[in-house]
Amino acid sequence: MLKTRLTELLGIKYPIMQAGMGPFSNNNLCVAAANAGCLGLLSTSGLFNKDDQPWIYNAFCDTGEANRDDDMAKVLDTVLKRTHRLVKDKGGVFGPNVMVSAELKDKANVMIETAIKAREENPDMKKTLKVMYTSAGDPMGWGDKIKGAGFIWIHIIPSVRAALRCKKAGVDIIVASGHEGGFHTHWEPLHSMVLFPAVVEAVSDEKTLVVGGGGVSDGKTLAATLALGCDGALMGTRFLATQESDFPPLWKQSVVEAQDRGTLVARGYVGPARWLRNPRSEEHAVNTLKKSPGVFLGTPDSYTTMEDMSLIEYENESIKAVFEGDKAKAMMAAGECAQRISDMPKVADLVQSIMKEAEDIIVNLPKKYVK
């Protein structure tokens, strides 16, 4: 069995984190991943979509057994307590993925305080709700609240500079996110083979762990991630295409059917996004080049400063089509590893196959190459 600093710190069986994959619901996927021995992460940003994208919000509430009419804090509280109930008997570990960008600061505070309160009301949750995972923003200023409440703090970043910022903020586990990853990618296309060892060399020490994400989907890529110095791996797209995944059937099947060169980058809600290649996303990429060229030039722009909102309207229509099963108008996000995914197993079976392959590679590699 593989043991790493990640498994030891979090008390999980395997050095794998299931990605949050917001804003889409993954309430049942999180439970399955946690019960399979990985770290399960709950998407939460779907709570912001009650009015403008109710198909996302409703799916979040329904899969989490929450009341659609409750306020954001109550919905999240319900989902957190449900997750605890479903993972506690198997020793599962989980946490919420909270976006902490400046424009979402008030919402992020509500979510973090809701998780703190849930643990205070039910101390047994401290055995399962162990982590707070933050994303899409500056980690500075959040440490006192998160670590002061006893959470292990995880933050995801796209560069060494951002990793150093996390180090200064006191983050416990830094996730280095390579450009191969699905949906929200980065303005500067730095890929995993370069990013992982660079971040490890910059920040990894006795107090700071590094996890690699982006293109990791099986035992081979998990073993490679560990070989590059990481303490574990983050997997999103691979978990998306599983039986327990909450994602719409059209989305999951499209990942399974993806072929060579099966993704492309075009505009997303908060910047560059990686989509499965189809006629709809190819049209979106052409429109992105015309209306948001910074996506391809590494020059950040913002929907809040755009006069032409047709890109976001197109994206909203495309995501709604996925939930409605309208293949002609649908646009699905996924990482580059989609082209390496050809089945839709149960999460527990998937994790076992990944770990067996990784362990076999690590044990046998010296026999092949060390003389």
Collapsing DSSP to helix, strand or coil, 352 comes out as helix
pTM above threshold 0.75: yes
85 with 64: CB under 8 angstroms? no
Residues of the chain under the 70 pLDDT cut: 303-307
- If we measure between CA atoms, which residue out of 115, 48, 59 comes closest to residue 83? 115
For residue range 166-202, what is the model confidence (pLDDT) as tens digits? 999 999 999 999 999 999 888 888 999 999 999 999 9
Cα(129)–Cα(41) distance, rounded to whole angstroms?
10
Cα(314)–Cα(311) distance, rounded to whole angstroms?
5
Cα(236)–Cα(361) distance, rounded to whole angstroms?
22
Contacts of 194 (CB under 8 A, 6+ apart): none
CA angle 150, 130, 90 (to 5 degrees): 145
322 with 332: CB under 8 angstroms? yes
Residue 153: in which H helix or E strand, if any? strand 152-157
Cα(23)–Cα(20) distance, rounded to whole angstroms?
8
Q: What is the pLDDT of residue 304?
A: 67
- If we measure between CA atoms, which residue out of 254, 237, 256 comes closest to residue 181? 237
For residue range 233-270, what is the model confidence (pLDDT) as tens digits? 999 999 999 999 999 999 999 999 999 999 999 999 88
Enumerate domains of the chain plus CATH numbers.
5-247+340-369 (3.20.20.70), 259-333 (no CATH)
Counting every residue, how long is the chain? 371
232 with 197: CB under 8 angstroms? no
Contacts of 370 (CB under 8 A, 6+ apart): none
Residue 196 is which amino acid? F
Handedness of CA 155, 157, 163, 166 (dihedral sign): negative
